[in-house]
Amino acid sequence: MPLPTPLADAIDRFEAGATVPAAAIAGLTSAELNSVPVPGTWSIQQIIVHLWESDLAAVHRMRRVIAEDLPLLISYDESAAATALFYEHEDLARVCRLFEDQRRLMAALLRRLPESAFARVGIHNTRGKISLAEFVELYVEHLRGHLKHLVRKRELLAKPVKISVP
């Protein structure tokens, strides 16, 4: 049985974000990717790696919500990860491919689920109860929010880009 339109649309938006990181960095040099045009914030490179790592955590959490009853979902320190995991040295082409593959694989899984699966919840240590449906929307918005910052950084570098998250 097909999923109701709101769920199907959310999954479509989630998957449509798969190619956004690669498109968002097109035409930038390594120096531009690693510059910090807004002091005290992340570079474009760090944003892209964060998006991948955050989606990695999200996919793991969503899969646990699907497979387990009320799993405990633990947050992580994003700033510590950006520093300790050497985001500035990652191969961004590979990171973008991994992000795209991860989103497409998860979207395919989500489309196989019955509607009832989207009401399943996990317990996040800082957010509390969160359903599978809420996770999908949360990560559509997560990408959208970081993309706004990335687009602004590109403008400050005189390398504007027109890109949006559906």
Write down the pLDDT at residue 166.
74
- Encode the chain (166 residues) as per-residue pLDDT tens digits: 788 899 999 999 999 999 999 999 999 999 999 999 888 999 999 999 999 999 999 999 999 999 999 999 999 999 999 999 999 999 999 999 999 999 999 999 999 999 999 999 999 999 999 999 999 999 999 999 999 999 999 999 999 999 877 7
Distance CA 142, CA 138 (A): 6
What CA–CA distances, in Å, run from 29 to 13, 86, 161? 29, 18, 14
Q: Which domains does the chain have, with CATH numbers?
A: 5-156 (1.20.120.450)
Compute the half-sphere exposure of residue 56: CA atoms within 13 Å on the CB side of its CA.
14
Q: Check: CB of residue 87 under 8 Å from CB of residue 49.
A: yes
Distance CA 124, CA 114 (A): 23
| pTM metric for this prediction | 0.94
The DSSP bridge partners found for residue 89 are none
Which amino acid belongs to residue 84?
A: A
